Amino acid sequence: MVKIFEEILRRRTFGIVSHPDAGKTTLTEKLLLFGGAIQEAGAVKSNKIKKTATSDFMEIEKQRGISVATSVMAFEYLDRHINILDTPGHQDFAEDTFRTLTAVDSAIVVVDVAKGVETQTEKLVNVCRMRKTPIMVFINKLDREGRDGFDLLDEIEAKLGLKLCPLSWPVGMGAEFQGVYNIWNSSLLLYEGSNKQKIEKSFSINDLGSSDLENRIGENAANTLRDEIELIRGVYPKFDKKAYLEGDLCPVFFGSALNNFGVKELLDCFVEIAPSPQPKMSIERLVDPTENIFSGFVFKIHANIDPNHRSRIAFVKIVSGEFQRNKNYFHVREKRQLKFSSPLTFLASKRAIVESAFPGDIIGLPDTGNFRIGDSLTSGEELNFKGIPSFSPEHFRFINNADPLKSKQLSKGIDQLMDEGVAQLFTLKSNGRKIIGTVGALQYEVIQYRLEHEYGAKCSYENYSAHKALWIESKNEKQLEEFLKFKSRYTAEDKFGRIVFFADSSFGLQMSIEKFDKLVFHEKSEY
């Protein structure tokens, strides 16, 4: 019992979120270098799909291979066991990222100093905020000319809705960039030499008024820094760990991931303040990580590792208790016992069979089709974890069977792909036609290709024009009945039988909201 307690306290499971190109891969790599999990830069492959390749299917397949290797990267640092969960930045895989964020205990948001807040960052941070995930912000690429620090903080607060608390501050920027002042531990980190390459020096400066500052960075920079730090102390709240842990205050660090500058400071602060695994709500009760009975949930399924065997890996986040290889566990939805002889862990880009794992850890369970996203696995108790909602897709198409002799294969294929969370399936109430909803248009190609190559089925698509899918919560059965009658052509059931309304425009939705005031229209399936 003592061991599991210690193991839980040592765990830090987090995700790095950013818009593509802000520097997520570079930062991940530098963190792994600190942890000794990799020995050289360039070892972590970027799993982003280059912009030019958005419709190149083979490229996607290749990327899928890379992304299984980088799905989880674990390393040790200062006696902490850190699990980084990879979050695809590409918008067509946003749903995957949303789900991964249900398995993190905290997040680091990377912002490019020149570009500021970009669309994908906004969407992902929204998901974190919804879940009250503690967030740290890393402003990257300070070696380049960028935006004024205060402007950037204003933009982050306004667009991301975060309350910020700078814990470091840049001394100059771009060509003038000399280093950062670490407010967290009152030290000044300076680049050594003019080429801004990797070497850094750190000085303790307890009193910013000291003339030592001029000697280090020159009079102008010293005065500017003093003024700016004074302004920060006046304008921004003091760091408050409780507020951070509740998702109400986000520490900000500045640096350059490429030059390995400011990364160690971020990591040192992270291991000190970031939360260890937290209790998780199930439909039945709140589950605490320190309970000695095992529980976990599937947040991601990665298929097609070996296309010949239709193999998949189900990624399970452990919520409580110790997981052990070759022990029987209860698959709650299917109500049966399963035993795993080769559960996997992921260390940097290596996979290995694991004997035991603890709350906060992610294990990969080889699967032949037993699991669905959101499934719970326990020592025997009937627990169904909440918090893995479906989000409204942005694209909708009818799916048709293009080979009548293969209708069984088609429906099995669609079923399994939906279990994996590739897309969402809706069945229209009026005529039973099937609609596939996705976050990115790319997914339709993926589905078509995989149905053909893995299930021997063929499909074709037809556009279905909808603005959004909304899950309906009814506070009045009569009004719901009326609505379903009135909008019968625009209502469907999702895979779990929940009622969904396809709004044709935001105006149309507004009209429905006004007319049917006892119904609530949600953009996600859990509310």
Which residues contact ligand G4P by CB under 6 A? 18, 20-26, 46, 48, 89, 140-141, 143-144, 256-259
Q: Which residue is it, tokens 């009326």?
A: 482
94 vs 258, which CB is nearer to ligand G4P?
258
- Strand stretches in 152-245, DSSP E: 164-166, 168-171, 179-182, 187-191, 200-204
Listed in sequence order, the residues at least 6 apart from 165 whose beta carbon sits closer than 8 Å to its beta carbon are 236, 237, 238, 239, 240, 244, 249, 250, 251, 252
Q: In what order do the strands lie in the sheet with 395-401?
A: 459-463, 395-401, 434-438, 424-428, 491-493, 499-503, 468-474, 519-522
CB of 195 to ligand G4P, least distance (A): 13
CB of 257 to ligand G4P, least distance (A): 4
20 vs 366, which CB is nearer to ligand G4P?
20
CB of 142 to ligand G4P, least distance (A): 7
CB of 94 to ligand G4P, least distance (A): 14
CB of 343 closer than 8 Å to CB of 357: yes
Listed in sequence order, the residues at least 6 apart from 504 whose beta carbon sits closer than 8 Å to its beta carbon are 465, 466, 467, 490
11 vs 30, which CB is nearer to ligand G4P?
30
Give the span between the Cα atoms of 354 and 255, in whole angstroms: 36
Give the span between the Cα atoms of 297 and 329, in whole angstroms: 12
48 vs 487, which CB is nearer to ligand G4P?
48
Instruction: Tell me if residue 392 falls in helix, strand or coil.
Output: coil
CB of 18 to ligand G4P, least distance (A): 5
CB of 7 to ligand G4P, least distance (A): 30
152 vs 519, which CB is nearer to ligand G4P?
152
Residue type, 312: R
152 vs 410, which CB is nearer to ligand G4P?
152
Q: In 3D, which of 373, 382, 440 has the Cα closest to residue 103? A: 373
89 vs 343, which CB is nearer to ligand G4P?
89
23 vs 247, which CB is nearer to ligand G4P?
23
Listed in sequence order, the residues at least 6 apart from 122 whose beta carbon sits closer than 8 Å to its beta carbon are 159, 160
Q: Which residue is it, tokens 């899950």?
A: 471
54 vs 401, which CB is nearer to ligand G4P?
54
CB of 214 to ligand G4P, least distance (A): 28
CB of 27 to ligand G4P, least distance (A): 7
CB of 355 closer than 8 Å to CB of 324: yes
Q: Which residue is it, tokens 């270098």?
A: 33
CB of 180 to ligand G4P, least distance (A): 12
